[in-house]
């Protein structure tokens, strides 16, 4: 079953198994993680489905995982979790070991062209685009700072309605 996400853009949404989407994102970043001698640990389970533009949501998760690896310490670990808060929604958490956010960065992190770390190899658009993609799926993306340790990025999405 396909439904229109945004009639002005003509995006086609389809039922997507979130477990498969996250696993595919993890596969995309496996080489990057290997190069930094990092582990990407999955604590993901469940038959959760969302209505999504598969490619766009895959890009959003992959971007979050790439950032987690890029800004985490060599030899560290990135952990991916899936939670169901029980309100018809599902949350995917990506926890990194970046050491935490610089002072005052939490509020600006999702703005275009903002870069929090010393690595300036990107343009600072990834998190802004990720937020836009997630919000176009009636979801939200947030970050929780773990000072001195890392961050947890959370993508919250509505579950697909049962057929």
Q: Do the domain assignments include residue 5?
A: no
**Is the pTM value of this prediction over 0.95?**
no
Which domain, by its residues, includes 80?
Answer: 15-158
Q: Do the domain assignments include residue 63?
A: yes
Q: Do the domain assignments include residue 60?
A: yes
Number of domains in the chain: 1
pLDDT for position 102: 76
Q: Do the domain assignments include residue 10?
A: no
How far, in Å, CA of 49 to CA of 103, rounded?
Answer: 37
Tens digit of pLDDT for each residue in 106-142? Answer: 665 655 545 555 454 544 566 888 999 999 999 999 9
Q: Do the domain assignments include residue 121?
A: yes
pLDDT for position 8: 34
Check which CATH number belongs to the domain holding 144 and give it.
3.30.565.10
Q: Do the domain assignments include residue 129?
A: yes
Task: Report residues of the chain scoring pLDDT below 70.
Answer: 1-11, 104-126
Helix (H) or strand (E) holding 19: helix 18-28
pLDDT for position 161: 87
DSSP state of 23: H
What is the greatest pairwise CA distance in the chain? 47
Q: Do the domain assignments include residue 9?
A: no
DSSP state of 149: T
Contacts with 118 (C-beta within 8 Å, 6 or more apart), sequence order: none
How far, in Å, CA of 51 to CA of 12, rounded?
Answer: 9
DSSP state of 97: -
Q: Do the domain assignments include residue 80?
A: yes
Secondary structure (H, E, C), 43-90: ECCCCCEEEECHHHHHHHHHHHHHHHHHHCCCCCEEEEEEECCCCCEE
pLDDT for position 3: 30
């Amino acid at each position: 079953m396909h439904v229109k996400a945004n009639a002005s853009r003509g995006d086609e949404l389809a039922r997507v198994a979130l477990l498969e989407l996250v696993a595919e994102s993890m596969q995309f970043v496996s080489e990057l993680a290997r190069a930094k001698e990092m582990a990407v640990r999955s604590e993901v389970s469940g038959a959760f489905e969302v209505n999504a533009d598969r490619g766009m949501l895959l890009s959003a998760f992959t971007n979050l995982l790439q950032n987690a690896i890029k800004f985490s310490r060599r030899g560290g670990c990135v952990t991916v979790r899936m939670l169901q808060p029980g309100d018809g929604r599902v949350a995917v958490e990506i926890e990194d070991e970046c050491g935490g956010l610089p002072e005052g960065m939490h509020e600006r992190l999702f703005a275009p062209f903002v870069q929090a770390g010393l690595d300036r190899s990107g343009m600072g658009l990834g998190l802004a685009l990720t937020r836009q993609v997630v919000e176009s799926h009636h979801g939200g993306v947030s970050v929780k700072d773990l000072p001195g340790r890392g961050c947890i990025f959370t993508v919250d999405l509505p579950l697909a309605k049962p057929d």
